[in-house]
Chain A
Amino acid sequence: MSENRIGVAKTYKLYIGGAFPRSESGRSYPVSDAKGAFLANAAQGSRKDARDAVAAARKAFPGWSGATAYNRGQVLYRVAEVLEGRREQFAAEVAAAEGVALKKAQQLVDAAVDRWVWYAGWTDKVATVLGAANPVAGPYFSFSVPEPTGVVAVLAPQQSSLLGLVSAVAPVVATGNTAVVVASADRPLPAVTLSEVLATSDVPGGVVNVLTGRTEEIAPWLASHADVNALDLTGAPEALRAELERSAAGTVKRVLRPRPSEDYLREPDLGRLRAFVESKTVWHPVGT
């Protein structure tokens, strides 16, 4: 290969409904690494892309939430396998995006793969932890079981481009929700690669949809969208949070508020799994 070969600069696209469309707006924006050098172009998603992503997530919801928990676990574990196969690419992207040394980046990628496996393991166990056989004073069995909330809009963490993203997305889909993810605005490339991983694993199209672009532009449309059932505010700009919560209240969305300075390297608790399930309680007469 000649010395002065010109590298192929990539212009990435969105991930909606299992396909990779350009933004409806036709816009894209340059993505730089932590030192300001050009990396690639990413699609700049618009409100109509968000609308399309919600429609795709809604369409995928019956199939994904109806799949057995065991099956969801298998599918998510397969994602972790494909993630592992792209370890070097992810490490390079995380190092460039977050400005950390390659060694540290590899540690973050490994943690992200482990995180995905951790949540994949929870799919068929979460019901026994969050559900219950309720003691009732009458001749009835009473069960409570967790059911997925529906379509969840995830504003992915702005700083932790892969580990934070995985920590936010995996618990949403593990319980059977479908997700519309708005990737970190300045560090979107690991999210784009994650969408390529999802597309080549067994996750049905539409279960996870990834939008890149300006969070402050897309988030208000997702917060007010009547067909979005829950909102994860983790990556919401500080100044916008109150307003987003207010408009989410207009359609009674579940809202997950970000924890101050979350350390994603620590093993998580069940908080994120618990945030996007609804309890369904069934009463059933006892005996004959």
Chain B
Amino acid sequence: MAAPSTSPSLPPSLADAVRDDASLRRFLHGLPGVDQVGVEQRAAGLGTRSIKKASKLWAIDAAIGMVDLTTLEGADTAGKVRSLCAKARRPDPDNPDVPRVAAVCVYPDMVATAKQELDGTGIQIASVATAFPSGRSTLKVKLEDTAFAVESGATEIDMVIDRGAFLSGRYGQVFDEIVQIKHACGDAHLKVILETGELATYDNVRRASWLALLAGGDFIKTSTGKVSPAATLPVTQVMLQAVRDWHTATGERRGVKPAGGIRSTKDAIKHLVAVHEVAGPEWLNPHLFRFGASTLLNDLLMQRRTQLAGHYSGPDYVTVD
């Protein structure tokens, strides 16, 4: 097993976990099980919080600032990426005070186009890599995929884990892969996609979260958006618990990114409530929490207009993507 490239000062218990395959397995299987009923009930409870008026406006602006505006279609063209970047810079041209989104997320071959458009704006360029979305390829190809994206100018890499290896219990292999990709990323931030829709249980989500954190992922991300169910509130909550516990153990804050399936402002605000209550207010920040989304942004903008104008808005008043 390769040594993790980050966190050289892991506390003894965690340093022990990554010593070899067997201890990694022992550590992951020693994690406390997730109380399924409890976590779903808590998520449903937090979802009933009523966020109104000034708090709602704040939440909408915060959520816009946390959006990774995403286009991951086979039909993507340079033109589409350019218009997406324009939207990222100025989400609502009628209201220049709308904050910019956190990042634009594209396939590696579109990174150069996005970089041209976003240079100097402070908007991050995220690229999926490692044979997204299935992750079914050789490590060599995945590393080259990553290196290509980074060379083209990506500042954040969204990698997928090998779910086949994870589900067959080959944790060491998954760990090594993340460590090597992290190394290939250089200065770019690494987001590790767990694809929770394929992990079947909350226990597996917790294990995969810890595995990714131990291997040096800067963010843990729920899904590719290509598998249903994608990001659900309870899953996000389990992952938020993992980063909170990581912070308790190491003093270091890592991020969470739910992606896929969050389409309405209401969903986004429910997630923000969960972030505040489960991880803590420090996580309400684009450096530590992101939404992977495309249609969500339009709904946020419509809700923002509704809040400010005092009447309901409609899709005719936001861009068609």
* A residues neighboring B (CB under 8 Å): 51, 54, 58, 221, 224-228, 247, 250
Contact = CB atoms under 8 A, between A and B. Distances in A.
B312 A224 contact: yes
Interface string B297-321: 0000000010000111111110000
B311 A227 contact: no
A247 B311 contact: yes
B311 A221 contact: yes
Interface of B: 305, 310-317
Contacts of A225: 311-312, 314
Contacts of A58: 314-315
Top 7 A-B pairs ranked by shortest CB distance? A227-B314, A224-B311, A226-B314, A225-B312, A226-B313, A51-B312, A226-B317
Main secondary structure of the interface of A (DSSP, over half): helix
Contacts of A247: 311
Contact of A54 (B310, B312, B316, B317): B312
Contacts of B314: 54, 58, 225-228
A228 B315 CA distance: 11
**Of B305, B314, B315, most A-chain CB atoms within 10 Å:** B314
Nearest to A225: B312
A95 B203 CA distance: 63
B264 to A, nearest CB: 11
A260 B317 CA distance: 36
A217 to B, nearest CB: 15
Contacts of B315: 58, 227
Nearest to A227: B314
A224 B312 CA distance: 7
Contacts of A228: 314
**Of B305, B311, B315, most A-chain CB atoms within 10 Å:** B311
A153 to B, nearest CB: 12
5 contacts: A221-B312, A226-B312, A226-B314, A227-B312, A228-B314
B57 to A, nearest CB: 18
B95 to A, nearest CB: 14
A53 to B, nearest CB: 11
Given A54-B312, A58-B315, A226-B317, 9 more contacts: A58-B314, A221-B311, A221-B312, A224-B310, A224-B312, A225-B314, A226-B311, A227-B316, A250-B311
